[in-house]
Amino acid sequence: MATNTKIGTKEYYRTTATVGYDHKGKQIQKQFYGKTKKEAERKKYAFLKNHEHGIVATNDSVSKAMHNWLWSVIKIKSKASTFERYEINYRCHIKPSEIAYIKATEITSSHIQKFYNTLFKNDTSVATIKQIHRILTYFFNYLLNERTISINPCKNVVLPIDADELIDNEEIFVFSDEDIQKIYTLRNSRVKFIMLFALFSGLRIGEILALTSKDVEDNIVSVTKSVRIVRIFDTETTWHYETVVSKPKTKTSIRTVPLPSSFHPYMLKIHELNKQQQRDFDYEPTDLLFPSLYGTFLNARNVTRSYKRALKSLDIEYRKFHSLRHTYATKLFEAGVDVLTISKLLGHTTTQTTEIYAHVLKTMKTNVVESLNSIFADNNVKIMLNPQKPNKKSRLQVRDNLDIV
C-alpha cells in the first residue's frame, strides 16, 4: 500500500517491495515513488513483473540503447557494408523520431506502429520501412536476449503495405529492342561491354565489377562475390571510403549463369581491350574482367556516369543501370522461360520477386496491344514497348570518349 511522503517541498506517494536478501539473510527493499498512489503501485508492479522474469532494469532511451548496440555489437560482428546500412537508417530515420526518446523498457507495439505509419505518410518508401523494421526487430531481439525487455515490440506490428502488394507499386522500366540495337552501335569501349554483359547475363553492377577472367569459363559465369564502395567508420564522427569485395548477401545470389553463344565474340573483344589497356597504362597485370585504368576495381559511380553519357549520345531515354537486369528478365519471360528458372538465374530468394516481371509484362502488353499487332503485321518482329517515363536531362555533358577513367 502506497503511503504519503514528502521530499523537499513536494508531496509524493511511496511504496516498498522486497526484491531479495543480502548475504546475512536480511531483506533488500526497493522504494517506488509516484505523484499518486496508483502511479507508485504501477511502478512497483512493473518492476516486480520484470524482476520475476529476470529483466534487467535500465533507464536508457531507445536511441541511447540502439547507439550502444550499433557501436559495441554490430560494428564488431557485421560486415562494413551492413554496419553502414544500419548506421544510416538509425541516424536518418530512428534517431530523429519520437520513439528515440522512449525508454527501451517502456516502448510498445503501438509506438512502433505509429512510427511506421508516420514514415509512410511522409513518403518513405516501403522498401526503406521494411529495412528499418528488420533492423529494429534485430535490435529488440538483442535486448530480449539481454533480458532488458520481456517482449519484442515489433512482433505485432503491421507494415503500411504488405510485401505481397509491392508488385503493384514496383516501377520496372526496360529497354526496347530498338534501344538495344542502338547500344550495339556504341564504339568498342569499357562501358559498352559492361552494358552488354548486363543485358546478356542479368547480373547486378556490383557482381559484374567483381568478376575475374576465371569467373567466366566456357560461357558460364560463376557469381560468388560483389564489390562496392563502403563507408568505413574510424570513429563515430570520422570515416573514409574503401572498396570492399564480399559474398552476396543471400545464398541464392551465389549462382552460375550461362551466357548466350552470341556473346562469345564480345568476350574476345573484352580480353583484347584489357590487354591493350594494360599496355597503354602500364599497370601490373590483373585478372579482373573489367579493370579500371589503374588495374583496380572500377568504381560503380564512375560506371554509372559513363553509362548515362552513353545513353544520351544514343538518344535513349535515361533508365537506371538496373534496368538492363530488368530487360534481361523480361526478355526471358517473353521467350517463355519458366519463372523458377528465371528466378535462379537472377539469384532471387523467392519466385515472388521474379513474378513482378511477368506482371509488368502482362500489363504492358495489354496497354499496347494494338501497337504490337501492327508491328507483327508489318515486320513480324516482336518488340517490347516501354511505359513512358518523364525525360530527365543529364547534368553531365556528352563526351567523345565513353571509356571509363
**For residue range 116-162, what is the model confidence (pLDDT) as tens digits?**
999 998 988 888 999 999 999 999 999 988 888 889 999 989 987 54
User: What is the per-residue pLDDT across 222-232, written as a single tens digit (0 to 9) for each?
Assistant: 999 999 998 88
Q: What is the mean pLDDT of residues 63-79?
A: 92
> Which residues, including other chains, have CB under 8 Å from residue 82's CB and lie 6 or more apart?
74
Place of cell 503495405: 161
Tens-digit pLDDT profile for residues 306-351 = 999 999 999 999 999 999 999 999 999 988 899 999 999 999 988 8
The neighbour count for residue 361, using CB atoms within 10 Å, is: 18
Q: What is the DSSP secondary-structure string of 67-124?
A: HHHIIIIIHHHS-HHHHHHHHHHIIIIITTSGGGGSBTTT--HHHHHHHHHHHHHTT-
Q: Cα–Cα distance between 253 and 247 in angstroms, integer?
A: 9
pLDDT at 127: 86
Between CA 149 and CA 50 the distance in angstroms is: 8
Q: How far apart are CA 147 and CA 55, in angstroms?
A: 5
pLDDT at 386: 47
In angstroms and rounded to an integer, the radius of gyration of the C-alpha atoms of the chain is: 29
Are 116 and 134 spatial neighbours (Cβ–Cβ below 8 Å)? no
Report the range of poorest mean pLDDT among 203-207, 269-273, 322-326, 394-398. Answer: 394-398
Residue 301 CB: number of other CB atoms within 10 A?
9
Q: Which fold has domain 177-223+257-379?
A: hpI Integrase; Chain A (1.10.443)
CA atoms 330, 85, 226, 186: torsion sign: positive
Nearest Cα neighbor of 301 from 277, 321, 323, 273 is 321
- Report which DSSP code applies to 294: T
How many CB atoms lie under 10 A from the CB of residue 99?
22
Question: Does the reported pTM lie above 0.85?
Answer: no
Return the residue matching grid coordinates 516501403: 126
Contact 242, 95 (CB under 8 A): no
Q: What pLDDT, on a 0 to 100 scale, did the predictor assign at position 210? A: 96
Enumerate long-range contacts of 231-238, CB under 8 Å, 24 or more apart.
Answer: 231/80, 231/84, 232/80, 233/75, 233/83, 233/84, 233/87, 236/71
Cell 523480361 sits on residue: 330
Which CA distances in Å does 23 have to 19, 27, 325? 14, 10, 68
Locate the domains of the chain by residue range.
Answer: 3-52, 62-165, 177-223+257-379
| Fold held by 62-165 | DNA polymerase; domain 1 (1.10.150)
Q: Rounded mean pLDDT of the chain?
A: 83
Supply the DSSP string of 322-388, one letter for each residue: HHHHHHHHHHHHHTT--HHHHHHHHT-SSHHHHHHHHHHHHHHHHHTHHHHHHHHHHH---------
Phi/psi at 35 (5° precision): -70, -20
* Nearest-angstrom CA–CA distance, 270 and 258: 17
- Name the nearest CA neighbour of 26 among 17, 34, 18, 35: 18
The per-residue pLDDT for 275 is 94
More confident residue, 367 or 156: 156
